[in-house]
Amino acid sequence: MLDLKGRKGKWNISVLILLGILYLVIHCMAASRILLPYHIQVLGLVCINIILVVSLNLINGFLGQLAIGHAGFLAIGAYLSAALTVFYGFPFLLAILISGIAAGLVGILIGVPALRLTGDYLAIATLGFGEIIRVIILNIPAVGGPRGFSGIPRLTNFGLTYLLAIITVFVVKNFIDSAHGRAVVSIREDEIAADSLGVNTTYYKVAAFAIGAFFAGTAGALFSHYMQYISPAPSQIGFLRSIEILIMVVLGGLGSLTGSVITAFALTLLPELLRGFAEYRMVIYPILLILMMLFRPSGLMAGNELSFEFLEKLFKRKPKSNAKGVSPGGAN
């Protein structure tokens, strides 16, 4: 009857077809040397970052909890998968899956105590957990300790990163559009009200946290088998990396998946393209971060998704047909 979602279902499929075509185009451009292997390499990193940013946005943007230890889950995935393929000869896909599950389990382990805390404590606690994971890795000689883990086979290719990025976006999107995802969003909006409506807030906090951690783990597995080396430096698997992912989430918009994809793309490419930018980016990003919070806290996309409906709204500027009689200010 009223606002049923038939249209959205079709939308999913048409987007998938577009994404398939995009892949073919990239493939052809690579084959005809318009895109050099270096470009493809960077695009693969873009996809890995999309996984990281979208999965963190689930926690930061939709759940509304400021967790800033995402690189810890990346680290678990990167090292565990490398150990599995290098030492035990696991097939790569299985290693990715196990990495995701392991990161998810650690997410639950961390989430249960940490999510009892309010925002501020959670931020520090997750940052702390991330660092503890890093310090533990530093102290395992078998995976290279401070020297890093080298000699990892190159099992990740662009296609795989592309596929996993798409899976991540779709899983998170479908999750958010389900009763369970709405429960997660309700916690962000008003935890007490959510509680009063029968939402088990602890369960959903941990669930969102675990899903986010799962995908960060798979991104880690892709990453170490892409670079063939993983270093325990803060900029790789420590808080600097976590902050970088956080910056992408915030600039793309808390709670906007398309925003996350756009910033993951832009902020991965920019430093590669503009040499000067790389030097100043850690001045520019924080300024953007602060300005964004001061003037446009909902981010680039303001909680909107780049969709046909959104574009329609943007261009036609027509008030929603069924919202008649109500001005945005709620006058009367």
Q: Which positions from 134 through 173 interact with another protein, judged by CB under 8 A? A: 135-136, 138-139, 171
Rounded to a whole number of angstroms, the minimum distance from the CB of residue 183 to another protein is 6
Looking at the Cβ atoms of 64 and 220, the one nearer to another protein is 64
What sign has the CA pseudo-torsion 25, 26, 29, 30? negative
Contact status: 14 vs another protein (CB under 8 A):
no
Give the largest Cα separation in the chain, rounded.
Answer: 70
Count other Cβ atoms within 10 Å, centred on residue 167.
13
- Residue of 180, 229, 271, 313 interacting with another protein (CB under 8 A): 180
* Closest to 60 in 3D by CA, of 249, 275, 263: 249
Contact status: 123 vs another protein (CB under 8 A):
yes
Q: Under rule CB under 8 A, which residues in 214-253 are in contact with another protein?
A: 239, 243, 246, 250
Looking at the Cβ atoms of 25 and 193, the one nearer to another protein is 193
Rounded to a whole number of angstroms, the minimum distance from the CB of residue 184 to another protein is 10
- Whole-angstrom distance, CA of residue 276 vs CA of residue 248: 19
* Closest to 282 in 3D by CA, of 267, 294, 292, 264: 267
- Residue of 127, 155, 216, 264 interacting with another protein (CB under 8 A): 127
Rounded to a whole number of angstroms, the minimum distance from the CB of residue 206 to another protein is 12
Please state the three-class secondary structure of 178-235 as a single string.
CHHHHHHHHHHHCHHHHHHCCCCHHHHHHHHHHHHHHHHHHHHHHHHHHHCEECCCHH
* Closest to 49 in 3D by CA, of 311, 251, 314: 251
* Closest to 213 in 3D by CA, of 122, 102, 47, 80: 102
Looking at the Cβ atoms of 31 and 179, the one nearer to another protein is 179
Strand, helix or coil at 149? strand
Contact status: 178 vs another protein (CB under 8 A):
yes
Looking at the Cβ atoms of 39 and 180, the one nearer to another protein is 180
Looking at the Cβ atoms of 91 and 297, the one nearer to another protein is 297
- Residue of 104, 144, 148, 181 interacting with another protein (CB under 8 A): 181
CB 11 within 8 A of CB 308: yes
Q: Under rule CB under 8 A, which residues in 33-52 are in contact with another protein?
A: none
Strand, helix or coil at 150? strand
What's the half-sphere exposure (Cβ side, CA atoms, 13 Å) at 135? Answer: 6
- Whole-angstrom distance, CA of residue 306 vs CA of residue 293: 21
Contact status: 270 vs another protein (CB under 8 A):
no
Looking at the Cβ atoms of 42 and 136, the one nearer to another protein is 136
Contact status: 13 vs another protein (CB under 8 A):
no
CB 232 within 8 A of CB 70: no
Looking at the Cβ atoms of 157 and 201, the one nearer to another protein is 201
Looking at the Cβ atoms of 18 and 302, the one nearer to another protein is 302
Looking at the Cβ atoms of 5 and 147, the one nearer to another protein is 5
Q: Under rule CB under 8 A, which residues in 57-86 are in contact with another protein?
A: 60, 64-66, 68
Q: Under rule CB under 8 A, which residues in 275-304 are in contact with another protein?
A: 280, 282-283, 285-287, 289-290, 293-294, 297, 303
Q: Give the contact letters, 187-206, x = binds to another protein (CB under 8 A), - = no.
A: --xx-xxxxxxxxxx-----
